[in-house]
Structure 1
Amino acid sequence: MKKRYASTWESLKEHQVPQWYEDGKFGIFIHWGLYSVPAFAPQTWELGEVPPDETWFSNNPYAEWYYNSIHVGYGPSYDYHVKKYGKDFKYEQFADMWKAEKWNPAEWARLFKKAGAEYVVLTTKHHDGFCLFPSKYTDYNASKRGPQRDIVGDLTDAVRGENLRMGLYYSGIVDWTFADDPILNNDDLFHTASPTFAYADYAYNQSMELIDRYAPSVFWNDIGWPRQGEHNLPYLLSHYYNTVEDGVVNDRFNDLYYDFTTKEYQSGSANRREKWEMCRGMGLSFGYNAMESDDKIISIEDAISLLVSTVANNGNLLLNIGPRADGTIPEEQEKRLLAIGEWLGVNGEAIYGSRCSSRESIKYTDQIQVHFTERDGALYVLIDAKGKSQVSVTVPGLSGNAVPLDPKVEADTAKIDGGLRFTVKNFGDSQNVAVFRLNRIM
């Protein structure tokens, strides 16, 4: 019998992380909107690398923050905007320049399937307030302007057509169509950005639209929720769970409630005791930044290493793509998705459906680490040796026969005092992460 949730925090806390989310491990994040037209941000730092102060916000590497970056009135994005479009060119004018003329949602969905993703999360409204769905609460949306189509609906149908889960992102606390004072520090996010009860109601109403129309498997709120509307959250979330039985929500509801916690680049923290999700762009930005060429984004090896280390420590990886304004996915991003899919095609049994092992990851050097996952009574040993063609490591406390999942991997294992020594002579096609299965957990 389906559980019904009451609109109380006590009832909500009875909700459990659904098995599909525990098992899925890998998702695709998509930031696509008006900011994809200018497609510009300076290449500065990862989030969390420097303090979130005026220096960060005036040199923001997130292209999807272009509105705020030019509204600051100085800095690289402002200078670019004045030179490219003119000082009097308003951000809202990008709505009539964004055509998405080459967008094929079915092609996107097929690519995500090939990448080995189990779920997708699309930005339905970012901080600029432009909606990618037909909302009865605003005409500032992609059905009325720009592409003139229901982007959320079209992609939801395509993703579900590939038997993947569809999740939706919503910018709950920031909407510059309601309050456009420049954000220059973290405090501004919670005070300057959403000061009215009218906006709190707007965010609530649009969230209900998304839940009722699309029934997303993930409801991914960003940054926080309007303080003036916190009292409505128990009803909103209970309505979500009662509508989507196996739905899941993140932790960006003012620390009031979550199914899983989030880490973004170097910002946030994660632990092995509860479910968490790592999200990041392939470069320093989530939205498409034309400045981020192939050599400026995460390497294939590092992307696979990130997936492995995240999963082994009880997390999911939500890796972002930033499509161009015309709807095409940059070739360098597609290349990485396909490489991850190829690796998962061989080694996926150590990832999908696995659980965090009682064995913690071992760091031998910055380049050599060993991770562990468990599934169906088997222990998986994932040897990550970035930039190495060969490696030899000893894992203490192990015994038994270890078999590489990739038949192209050339390796020997030997029992020595206190453990097993793994000697990988050739990583085959495994992108410097070789996976071994021990049928009995030792």
Structure 2
Amino acid sequence: MRNDFAERTRWFREARFGMFIHWGLYAIPSRGEWVRSLEKLSVEEYRPFFEEFDPVRYDPRQWAKLAKAAGMKYAVMTAKHHDGFCLFDSKLTDYKATYTPAGRDLIREYVEAFREEGLRVGLYYSIIDWHHDDYPAYGDKIHPMRDNEAFKNKPIEFGRYLDYMHGQVKELLTNYGKIDVMWFDFSYDDMTGEKWRATELVRMMRSLQPDIVIDNRLGGNIKAAAPEEYAGDFASPEQMLPAEGIANEAGRPIPWEACITLNDHWGYCSSDRNYKSAKTVVRGLVECVSKGGNLLLNVGPDAKGVIPHEAVEILREVGRWMDANADSVYGCGAASLPKPEWGRYTQNGNKLYAHLFDRGMGPTSFAGMNGKIKRARLLADGAEIKVETPWMAYEYPDDAFVTLGGAELPDGIDTVIELELA
């Protein structure tokens, strides 16, 4: 791993847990962030949401406190989504929050609030734009006007759009202090790589913010032994956890981050109450860490600027688990051991963390670990646990065992045993 790359991504590889925030005009129709595309809404049909956007309860300090209480170390918020609406005060467009009833630079408030809580700050920026006149519309597979004959012969100057897009990225990396993550979304078909003047864009970004960490959605092959300059610093699987982590063609692990929704939508959807449990979130986070990755967990605030109460309660419960078990997450990665039947392993140096999801029957076995464990304790309270071979397990001399009393695990979400290796 190159020294500059290793240093730039060090905090990212140690943080492991972040908050994704999808918020914009689409919170008003509350049918998800793709509502313009899915319903083929014209600019005029979408305009009323711009004219009424007034999130009177927006308080990013509360969001930041919630993220911190949940154990998150960084956040990424939508500065501009595919609909082209900007939550920041861009000088390059009137299609922005400062020209709505909100009348404020909502990104500046977000950046300041999350910095105050000691969290790293990231910005999401869509390289797609359904509002800009010079972005391809007719025939594009996702543009709201893809089938509208009125756009069939409409002349566009894509270079002018690219100037606009590059200019907005420059604004975001110039006007808001240090930005830790730039999360681009997304390349598709032939709209990828140098179609975005990607090398030029990345070089400009690095000149402004040398330490910024960039995702892989400008295009390119991040898994290549010698990836393109614009291929990004980390892979970004969406709505799934990779089976075995992510490595390059040479077999070396690369940083990655799974972006996952708490319910079934990224943007606010009033009818979607299909929320994941705190147990699911914790175990998903642990699975990511056990494979050398991060979890970026999404919330979608409503039109008034409020994170749904279901999401708040889930994150608070996750935070209670993190308060007791964070050492098994931060700074940890994959262990050089196969996945155990009862859960997952994470590791940081000579500390091996056994995440027990399943109580099972009889003692808990650590395969191949006999004589390799110096001491064991419950991470949550520090209680000592004896590592020994019980009478019924003498036929398994290579394995180490602990015996937990009771029919249930001490923590039904995830009981963590810290094993100090000899």
- TM above 0.5: yes
- Give, in angstroms, the shift of residue 298 of structure 1: 0.7
- Give, in angstroms, the shift of residue 231 of structure 1: 7.2
Show structure 2 runs of 5+ residues with no match. Answer: 147-151, 221-227, 248-252
One of 269, 289, 293 as aligned partner of 1:311:
289
The aligned amino acid for 1:127 is: H
Relative to structure 2, which stretch is displaced further, 148-157 or 248-257?
248-257
Number of the residue aligned with 1:68: 37
Matched, 1:201 2:163: yes
Distance verdict in 2 for CA 1:67–1:422, change over 3 Å: farther
Q: Deviations over 1:263-288 (max 9, x none)?
A: 11138774262111000111111101
Distance verdict in 2 for CA 1:431–1:153, change over 3 Å: farther
Number of the residue aligned with 1:92: 47
- 1:196·1:228 contact (CA, 8 Å) conserved in 2? no
Counterpart-to-counterpart distance in 2, 1:195 and 1:298: 44
One of 265, 271, 282 as aligned partner of 2:239:
265
Counterpart-to-counterpart distance in 2, 1:389 and 1:410: 21
Number of the residue aligned with 2:109: 154
Number of the residue aligned with 1:139: 94
Q: Deviations over 1:146-179 (max 9, x none)?
A: 4111111011000000110000000013434344
Distance verdict in 2 for CA 1:263–1:274, change over 3 Å: same
- Give, in angstroms, the shift of residue 411 of structure 1: 7.1
Identity %: 29
Show structure 1 runs of 5+ residues with no match. Answer: 1-11, 41-62, 73-86
Number of the residue aligned with 2:214: 249
- 1:409·1:427 contact (CA, 8 Å) conserved in 2? no
TM-score, with length taken from structure 1? 0.78
- Give, in angstroms, the shift of residue 94 of structure 1: 0.3
Relative to structure 2, which stretch is displaced further, 31-40 or 391-400?
391-400
Q: Deviations over 1:113-167 (max 9, x none)?
A: 1111100000000000000001111100001114111111011000000110000
Matched, 1:394 2:365: yes
Aligned length: 380
Counterpart-to-counterpart distance in 2, 1:234 and 1:403: 50
- Give, in angstroms, the shift of residue 408 of structure 1: 9.1
Q: Deviations over 1:43-80 (max 9, x none)?
A: xxxxxxxxxxxxxxxxxxxx1001101108xxxxxxxx
Number of the residue aligned with 2:27: 36
- 2:286·2:346 contact (CA, 8 Å) conserved in 1? no
Counterpart-to-counterpart distance in 2, 1:168 and 1:281: 17
Counterpart-to-counterpart distance in 1, 2:103 and 2:338: 50
Counterpart-to-counterpart distance in 2, 1:24 and 1:289: 29
Distance verdict in 2 for CA 1:408–1:136, change over 3 Å: same
Matched, 1:342 2:347: no
Counterpart-to-counterpart distance in 2, 1:267 and 1:383: 19
1:180-195 mapped onto 2 (5 Å cutoff):
180-181=137-138, 184=141
One of 186, 192, 202 as aligned partner of 1:223:
186
- 2:196·2:218 contact (CA, 8 Å) conserved in 1? no
Counterpart-to-counterpart distance in 1, 2:362 and 2:166: 54
Distance verdict in 2 for CA 1:133–1:409, change over 3 Å: same
- Give, in angstroms, the shift of residue 321 of structure 1: 0.3
- Give, in angstroms, the shift of residue 439 of structure 1: 1.1
Number of the residue aligned with 1:21: 12
The aligned amino acid for 1:253 is: L
Number of the residue aligned with 1:55: none
- 1:263·1:277 contact (CA, 8 Å) conserved in 2? yes
TM-score, with length taken from structure 2? 0.82
Counterpart-to-counterpart distance in 2, 1:355 and 1:165: 20
- Give, in angstroms, the shift of residue 389 of structure 1: 9.2
The aligned amino acid for 1:285 is: H
Counterpart-to-counterpart distance in 2, 1:177 and 1:338: 39
Larger radius of gyration: 2
Counterpart-to-counterpart distance in 2, 1:141 and 1:125: 9
- Give, in angstroms, the shift of residue 97 of structure 1: 1.9
Matched, 1:274 2:265: no
- 2:125·2:183 contact (CA, 8 Å) conserved in 1? yes
